Structure 1
Amino acid sequence: MKSVNYRLLFSKSIFLGIFFLNIVFAQAQNEKKYIKEGDAAAASGDSKTALNQYLQAYKLNQTNASLNYKIGVQYLKSEYPHKCLSYFESAYKLDPKVDKDILFNLGVAYQENHRFDEAADYFTKYRATLDPSNPFLKKIDRRLYECANGKEFMEKPVDVKIQSVSSVVNSPYSDFAPVISADEKVMIFTSRRPGSTGGSFDENGQYYEDIYISKKIAGQWGAPQNIGSNINTEFHDASIALSADGSELFIYKDDNAGDIYYCKQRADGSWSKPLPIEGSVNSRTYRENAAAVSPDGNTLFFASNREGGYGKLDLYMVKMNDKGFWGKPINLGPTINTEVDDESPFMDFDGMTLYFSSRAHKGMGGLDIFKTYYDSTKGDWTEPINMGYPINSADDDINFVLSGDGGHGYYASAKDDGVGEKDIYMISMPPREDRTKLIEKMKAMHLDAPIADVVPAPTVAAVLLPITIKGVVKDAETGKPMQTVVQLTDENGKLIAEKNVGPDGLYSFTVKNEAATSYTLSTEKEEFGFINKTFSVPGEKTSSQEITQNLALKKLAVGNVYVLRNIYFDFDKATLKSASNKELNNLLQLLKQNPEMEIEISGHTDSKGSDEYNRVLSRKRAQAVVNWLVSKGISKNRLKFEGYGESRPLASNDDELEGRELNRRTEFKILKK
């Protein structure tokens, strides 16, 4: 019988114990890091980044009650609020006192998932915890009313069919606010897809909204085209209404507090430059964000939060006078307008039925779509009628439009089976008794009746090959390969993949994206700086594509300068955008890990503008970065800032892509280590 070496077994047990403890410790540290980054993003209003960071932490620990609750809260703010339920349920199960509002949020979660009895139960429990004088009771009672309505509507659903308009129209990004001509030959909508005018990101890290147009040929919607730089700008541009014949487009711009513009289609198919609507429709200090025009073009309906209304956003109408100018706006009155939001109007082709969205009336949650009729004998609108389920849901239902014959409705929604974050859907409506009259009216206006959609014949799709992103991580000074970890994130900050790089420094990722998009490679190493390198990747093709992105890490040493490439500011301002958070947080962590380090933040511009203007702007931007770091707990004594304007270019300013873009940058220099 062989003797047992207990000393060896004991040593192995100790080794394995320490090994697994190290793994647990590392996971705990990473979990804290992700949560901290998520908290910072949430505090700055960047819900997408916050959710992505929390989900990364969740992969490491699913039993953290607070983390589950935070994920639920961020899902409520997303395009998919119904996904919050499982996280709120877990949070409550792990710790019933995880947050004072857990009962309320569980009610909201069940309501979003159309489980109205359970929602009402949690709302009732939460209500019992409130003081009788608490003003929040009114909100709870509204929720209970919505649950009762939702249950009623779902028991008697409307006979409609809802389907995606087409994978040709919808993209992997947000597509919404569709408007159509009465004959359904033209659809104009808003999208956040790549290829936007200017190609820039907003404060939430998404492409600025652009307007696109699609035309129906032989019953099929064609590939959307950007409507053009004559209408689209570098910032937000959104479609809100289209005349019955498709020749006049109304759009929303962020000017003032939000204004309505219009443009007309020329004989050659091009569009005129958008102009603000004349008269008193737009106000200087209030928001006008939605519009609809009557079939004859003589009455405009719009939403505004101006003074003198009944609540927040109210609906107004204005008529065109004999001279072709819009008259004085008239509030549609308390039958329609309430103390909350009433918006998104659309006038039926019959000229008497108004559709709109409201957070009040007999709704089932969020904004619901209603219809009301103008009673000419009483000179007033009838009591609004809910369009019913499944047209309406417990989430926001908005931007509803209808074809001239009433056969098809269109709106946008975020559904689990969608192509992107929001997709455009077509609703096949119940038959209307007045359809013949509507078609006759269309013919009188020289408009064709909508034709039935043609189901395209099945085709053999071309095989698109994935794209390889590869490179090597090197020491910037010696050129030697480095062993580290490289992360790949998408344009929304979501982690796509993570690779442990071996001694040869080589890494590679495989990605699939139908359309052109951008990715960011990130890596860092102790005693070295960090890199967040953002670059564009074309769409997939039938041939293989390889993109090489080498990464060079520079050692942390006094006098060394490091470029912060992903620091973004509002145009011509020193206001930091939330898309800068990842780069800023990396710099913050570097300073916390090196408590003796002192740095100078420097701002640099290209050669556009005067020398003095560029110097002042670059200094203000450098100061904004310093202020952000100080707000996160870094001592002012460790930070200096300076603006060098255009005086220290990295490349020639003669070329936009390789020159000016490189010269517009923020840097930090180590003064003390």
Structure 2
Amino acid sequence: MKYRQMMAAVAASLLCAAAAAQLAEYGIEGMGVVSTRDNEVRASVSPDGQRIVWGSTDRGGGAGGWDLWQASLRDKRWTTPRPLPVNSPANDFDPVFSADGRWLYFFSNRPGGRGGDDLYRAPVRADGSFGAPENLGGGVNSAGDEWAPLPSHDGRWLLFASDGLGGAGRHDLFVARWDGRTFVDPQPVPGINTAADEFDAAWLDGGKAIVFARSQGVESQPVRLYLAHCDGRTYSDIAPWALSFNSAEGNTLGPVVDASRPGEVLVTGSARAPKAGKLDIYRALAPASHGKPGCLAAS
């Protein structure tokens, strides 16, 4: 009896260790609130950690087919999911908070843009409400599609994807600079772009590394996340992010560093478990960077 009890305790401890190891790598975000049976893509947490926003392509109750959603933190849990008032009957997607929490960036193909999907931002008021969205203008928006805007921590740069600014082919990653009034002069992110689609990127460690999505066509599988490190001039040493569900068969995309927990990244994917539905939001440890400074300024 004593031997069986000891073996049961050992087995239980091994199971707990395995679960802890899994949680140390990733965990699902907001089961049933943020992550549901629908498609949830690219989430961002406000700098104070009290709100999370994300996009959904098929969750009912929004203004259009693709809408932006928000939930609030209460008793350490995300609650009261609701569509954002900045939504339009058109597609609104890829939300991200600025590092100071004063702006919400996203893309939309609403009327009045420059063609296709354009980059927008809406002011975030002191009470947490949102002002009217503004188009980021011709410095970054083209007649094509612009996606996944991400301002740098200091607000001097804007990272985004476009298929209308030239480049290596299909969607490429660009970075534009703030000139005091708007973002201008988009340049290809050094070392990243290929004839495939590159999009959905996030800087790590102040630009010393970058994690980004790549696929052979944005409408086809797989979409996989890659990690690259700056050698002081260009991003190199490109390899798939060693996240267990970031496989060559699935879709993993939408990385955003949690501004309230900079050692963690929110990412979209489909793990075997835990799993809420189609594409879910997961929280993972940020991959380690061994890069050097220089790639952000070089852009």
Measured against the shorter chain, the TM-score band is: 0.7 to 0.9
Q: Is the 8 A contact 1:239 1:249 kept in 2?
A: no
Report what 1:540 is aligned to. none
Residue identity in the other structure for 2:239: I
Q: Is the 8 A contact 1:214 1:224 kept in 2?
A: yes
Q: Does 1:380 align with 2:234?
A: yes
Distance in 2 (CA, whole Å) between partners of 1:175 and 1:220 is 18
Match of 2:136 among 277, 292, 311: 277
Residue identity in the other structure for 2:211: Y
Report what 1:289 is aligned to. 147
Deviations along 1:453-507, whole A, 9 cap, x unmatched?
Answer: xxxxxxxxxxxxxxxxxxxxxxxxxxxxxxxxxxxxxxxxxxxxxxxxxxxxxxx
Q: Is the 8 A contact 2:94 2:106 kept in 1?
A: yes
Report what 1:208 is aligned to. 65
Normalising by structure 2, we get a TM-score of 0.76
Q: CA deviation at 1:277?
A: 0.4
Report what 1:167 is aligned to. 32
For residue 384 of structure 1, give the secondary structure of its aligned residue in structure 2.
strand
Deviations along 1:250-292, whole A, 9 cap, x unmatched?
Answer: 1111252211111111123221111110342001x21112221
Q: CA deviation at 1:326?
A: 1.7
Distance in 1 (CA, whole Å) between partners of 2:50 and 2:206 is 19
Distance in 1 (CA, whole Å) between partners of 2:68 and 2:213 is 22
Q: CA deviation at 1:317?
A: 0.5
Q: Is the 8 A contact 1:178 1:190 kept in 2?
A: yes
Match of 1:400 among 225, 236, 255: 255
Report what 1:328 is aligned to. 185
Q: CA deviation at 1:174?
A: 2.3
Report what 1:309 is aligned to. 167
Q: CA deviation at 1:234?
A: 1.8
Q: Does 1:196 align with 2:62?
A: yes
| The structure with more helix, counted as a fraction of residues | 1
Q: How does 1:202-601 map to 2 (within 5 A)?
A: 208-228=65-85, 231-255=86-110, 256-283=115-142, 285-321=143-179, 323-333=180-190, 335-348=191-204, 350-359=206-215, 366-376=222-232, 379-393=233-247, 394-404=249-259, 405-414=261-270, 418-429=275-286
Distance 1:391 1:303, change over 3 A: same
For residue 185 of structure 2, give the secondary structure of its aligned residue in structure 1.
coil
Report what 1:149 is aligned to. none
Q: CA deviation at 1:368?
A: 1.5
Residue identity in the other structure for 2:282: Y
Report what 1:185 is aligned to. 50
Q: CA deviation at 1:307?
A: 4.8
Distance in 2 (CA, whole Å) between partners of 1:433 and 1:400 is 15
Q: CA deviation at 1:186?
A: 2.4
Distance 1:227 1:286, change over 3 A: same
Q: CA deviation at 1:308?
A: 2.8
Q: Is the 8 A contact 2:198 2:215 kept in 1?
A: yes
Q: Is the 8 A contact 1:293 1:347 kept in 2?
A: no
Asked which structure has the greater RCO (Cα within 8 Å, sep 6+), the reply is 2
For residue 350 of structure 1, give the secondary structure of its aligned residue in structure 2.
helix
Distance 1:424 1:407, change over 3 A: same
Q: Which of these two proteins has the greater Rg computed from alpha carbons?
A: 1
Distance in 1 (CA, whole Å) between partners of 2:252 and 2:212 is 10
| The structure with more strand, counted as a fraction of residues | 2
Residue identity in the other structure for 2:186: P
Q: Structure 1: which 5+ residue stretches go unaligned?
A: 1-156, 198-206, 435-673
Q: Percent identity?
A: 23
Q: Is the 8 A contact 1:336 1:383 kept in 2?
A: no
Q: CA deviation at 1:391?
A: 4.4
Q: CA deviation at 1:359?
A: 2.5
Report what 1:656 is aligned to. none
Distance in 2 (CA, whole Å) between partners of 1:232 and 1:327 is 26
Residue identity in the other structure for 2:236: T
For residue 328 of structure 1, give the secondary structure of its aligned residue in structure 2.
strand
Distance 1:433 1:209, change over 3 A: closer
Distance in 2 (CA, whole Å) between partners of 1:343 and 1:408 is 20
Q: Is the 8 A contact 1:291 1:302 kept in 2?
A: yes
Q: Is the 8 A contact 1:174 1:422 kept in 2?
A: yes
Q: CA deviation at 1:340?
A: 0.8
Normalising by structure 1, we get a TM-score of 0.36
Residue identity in the other structure for 1:297: G
Distance 1:307 1:277, change over 3 A: closer
Q: CA deviation at 1:425?
A: 1.9
Distance 1:245 1:221, change over 3 A: farther
Q: Is the 8 A contact 2:176 2:185 kept in 1?
A: yes
Q: CA deviation at 1:295?
A: 0.7
Distance in 1 (CA, whole Å) between partners of 2:148 and 2:78 is 25
Distance 1:371 1:181, change over 3 A: farther
For residue 121 of structure 2, give the secondary structure of its aligned residue in structure 1.
strand
